[in-house]
Amino acid sequence: MTATDIAATTAPPILEVRNMRKAYGNMPILKGVSCTLNQGDVMCVLGGSGSGKTTLLRCIAQLERYQGGSVVVDGELMGIAEKGGRFYRLSERQIARQRLKTGMVFQKFNLFSHMTAMQNVMEGPVHVLSVPPEEARSEACRLLEWVGLGERMDHYPAQLSGGQQQRVAIARALAMKPKVMLFDEPTSALDPESVGRVLAVMKQVAATGMSMIVVTHEMGFAREVASRVLFMDHGVIAEDAPSAQFFSAPSHPRAADFLASTLGARVQTN
Amino acid sequence: MSAEMQLDDHSTIIERGRYRMVMSLVVVLAFVAWLVHAFAVSDIEWKYVSHFLMVRTIMQGVAATLFMAVSAMLLGVVIGLIFAIVQQSGNPVWKTVAAGYVWLFRGTPVILQLLLWFNLALVFPHIWVPGYGSVQTVQLMTPFLSALLGLGLNQGAYITEIMRSGLTSVDKGQYEACCMIGMTRLQALRRVILPQALRVVIPPLGNEFISMIKLTSLSSMIQYPEILHSAQNIYYANARVIELLLVTGFWYLAIVTVLMPVQYFLEKRINRGWSG
């Protein structure tokens, strides 16, 4: 906490979202969202369903087009270029190159189903970064062992459990050496037993100093690992606070309600 | 005495349906025997059939049929793939062009398309070919080229639909995962989307190829020397019509029979990674 606070005052943020606006047709999803992520921060995005948290993450990843606002990752304006006072959308190729700065872990894993775990992790380094296959293989090997799947490298996704697939997906994203890792409800599609192991790997990733944005419903993870919490409600940020402060004394009434209901539900299930 | 008392582990239970199976076998065998008899006592001279089976002209016809089927199929696959990708691109102009192509070529008989290509000179007397300059269309539109364009473009319209269903069968998340490891659209298509679409596309493509083998017989109408055309040339001379038609029938069946296991193994191979 203190370390990142000091870093924040000296280094520029690794990711900055300014005034993001996004609507599907007439339905506004994001109504001007701004936030910054400092190097090494873990930011958990909380909020009820439909609050816009997944959309925010997808806009940051340039998977959605937004009507207004900007995303700057590692000092680079994403998806748009300014020329003579006008803004132009970058070509698909340029955006693809920019996306190398961000890695993403999806709710439904999205592993390439015709490739083994090993091939999934090697795919990007070999075919996008042009890393020699042998080098990529040993790196993929190391990563898969690191996420605890050393014995499952040659399995196809269909032969792996949901939790195992998600850990391969994390390894696949890390293999591209991104500046920021984006997690889109990474444990929502998992059985309770797998959830713990995936969260453990995510904790491991955070411990390496990776900057992370995690959209999640896992309150325990947010409380324990996150340095900051972004609470979203109906397309705006209702609260943006250090994690400890958010969980002990949420300032926004919606956030307080949300905490009471989710943590309450958790007590009941226990 | 009740049934439960008699039924023990050693009792044999007579299954139902055996009698019916034997009866149907008798009926089918009787029909086949009648058919064989009819052919045997008819005027067919079987020695002509066996004589012309491997004759040079017929063998060349078999080769021409195979060559045309493969070429037209390849053309169809390339066109179908391009139009299917274009349809998904979201560019409304190209989408309409693709839809128009499918509408036109699926909506008219193949034989008509073959005849139109063969008689293209009536519309365009001269065609400008890059590298050659202006060429007389009559000379350019040989039976081979007419048949290739007619069959290939018609096939392409059907394959567009097959490819489209294949592409849409791949989950959108696969494409997004490609994006997030920095792939371009084309890379994603080549490395991830197409290999997965193949699984859906191979069985109907196999069917299309088998039907293409037989469709090539239509190009006999425009003088392309495939099996049927070769057989016709022979029976115009010797009047052994039914014998030579049986020869062509034999070859079509032979080709399709060889292709069926090929299709089976291809489908098995493409299904790796899905069936546990």
| pLDDT confidence of residue A3 | 53
| pLDDT band, residue A252 (cuts 50/70/90) | confident
Q: How confident is the model at residue B5 (pLDDT cuts 50, 70, 90)?
A: low
Closest alpha carbon within chain B to A116: B273
- Closest by CA to B150, choosing from B65, B76, B256, is B76
**Record: contact A173-B273, CB cut-off 8 A:** no
Strand order in the sheet with A27-37: A27-37, A15-24, A68-73, A76-77
- pLDDT at residue A6 tops 50: yes
pLDDT at residue A269 in the model: 38
Q: Which residues of A touch B181 (CB under 8 A)?
A: 103, 123-124, 128, 172-173, 176
Judged against a pLDDT cut of 90, whether residue A212 lies above it is answered with yes
Residue A9 has a pLDDT of 58
- B192 at interface of A, judged by CB pairs closer than 8 A: yes
* A100 interface with B at CB cutoff 8 Å: yes
- Residues with Cβ < 8 Å from B134, sequence gap 6 or more? B126, B127, B128
Using a CB–CB cutoff of 8 Å, tell me whether B138 touches chain A.
Answer: no
Q: Measured between CB atoms, does A89 come within 8 Å of chain B? A: no
Among A108, A110, A176, the residue with its CB nearest the CB of B182 is A176
Taking a C-beta distance cutoff of 8 angstroms, is the pair B52, B44 a contact? no
Q: Which of A89, A102, A114 to mutate to test the interface with B (most CBs of B within 10 A)?
A: A114
Q: Which of B232, B246, B37, B229 is nearest to B114 (CA)?
A: B229
The verdict on a CB contact (< 8 Å) between A128 and B181 is yes
Q: Which residues sit opposite B126 in a β-bridge?
A: B136
A239 to each of A4, A44, A195, how far by Cα in Å? 19, 12, 26
Q: Does B195 touch chain A (CB under 8 A)?
A: yes
pLDDT of residue B42: 84
B chain contacts of residue A128, beta-carbon cutoff 8 Å: 181-183, 187
Closest Cβ opposite residue B173 in set A102, A106, A159 = A106
In a mutagenesis test of the A interface, which of B172, B181, B275 is the best target, namely the one with the most A β-carbons within 10 Å? Answer: B181
The DSSP result for A133-163, as a single string, is HHHHHHHHHHHHHHTT-TT-TT--GGGS-HH
Distance from CA of B196 to the nearest CA of A (A): 7
pLDDT at A202 over 90: yes
In the numeric block, which tokens belong to residue B92?
A: 């409304």
For residue A166, the chain B residues in CB contact (below 8 A) are none
pLDDT digits (tens, 9 = 90+) for B164-198: 999 999 999 999 999 999 999 999 999 999 999 99
pTM across the whole model: 0.83
Q: What is the pLDDT of residues B87-130, one digit of tens each?
A: 888 789 999 999 999 999 999 999 999 999 999 988 888 888 88
Task: State CA A126 to chain mean position distance.
Answer: 23
**Chain A residue at shortest CA distance from B185:** A92
Partner-chain contact A157 B174, CB within 8 Å: no
A-B CB pairs within 8 A amount to 79
Percent of chain B with pLDDT over 90: 68
Say what percent of chain B tops pLDDT 70: 96
Contact between B59 and B52 under an 8 Å Cβ cutoff? The reply is: no
Rama region for B160: left / alpha / beta (φ>0; ψ in -120 to 50; rest): alpha
Closest of A142, A141, A146, A139 to residue A116, by C-alpha: A141
Position A117 scores a pLDDT of 97
Six-digit token string for A92: 């698909």
- Give the pLDDT mean for B132-160: 92
Comparing CB atoms, the residue among B180, B184, B273 nearest residue A104 is B180
Is the predicted pLDDT of residue B274 greater than 80, yes or no?
A: no
**What pLDDT is recorded for position A5?**
55
Q: How many angstroms separate the CA atoms of B6 and A253, rounded?
A: 78
Question: Looking at chain A from residue 47 to 66, which residues have their Cβ under 8 Å from any Cβ of chain B?
Answer: 61-63
| Per-residue confidence band for A268, with pLDDT thresholds at 50, 70 and 90 | very low
CA-CA distances (angstroms) from residue B90 to A65, B161, B198?
A: 15, 16, 22
> Could you tell me how many helices (H) and strands (E) chain A has, helices first?
10, 12
pLDDT at B145 over 90: yes
β pairing state of A80-83 and A86-89: antiparallel
Instruction: Determine the Cα–Cα distance for residues B20 and B25; give it in Å rounded to an integer.
Output: 9
Of the ranges A70-79, A232-241, A261-270, B145-154, which one carries the lowest mean pLDDT score? Answer: A261-270
From CA A145, how far away is CA A168, in angstroms rounded? 10
For residue range A8-27, list pLDDT tens digits in order: 556 789 999 999 999 998 89
Task: Compute the average pLDDT of residues A127-155.
Answer: 96
Contact with chain B for residue A127, Cβ under 8 A: yes
Interface membership of B174 toward A (CB under 8 Å)? yes
| pLDDT (tens digit per residue) in A231-244 | 999 999 999 999 99
**Residue in A with minimal Cα distance to B197:** A114
Search chain A and give the residue with CA nearest B175. Answer: A110
pLDDT digits (tens, 9 = 90+) for B191-238: 999 999 998 999 999 999 999 999 999 999 999 999 999 999 999 999
Contacts of B181 (CB under 8 A, 6+ apart): A103, A123, A124, A128, A172, A173, A176
Q: Picking from A59-63, A191-195, B76-80, B159-163, which range would have the lowest pLDDT averaged per residue? A: A191-195
Mean pLDDT score of chain B, rounded to an integer? Answer: 90
Residue with tokens 């890695």: A103
Of B177, B183, B275, the CB nearest to A110: B177
CA distances from B89 to A79, B82, B95, B100 (A): 19, 11, 8, 16
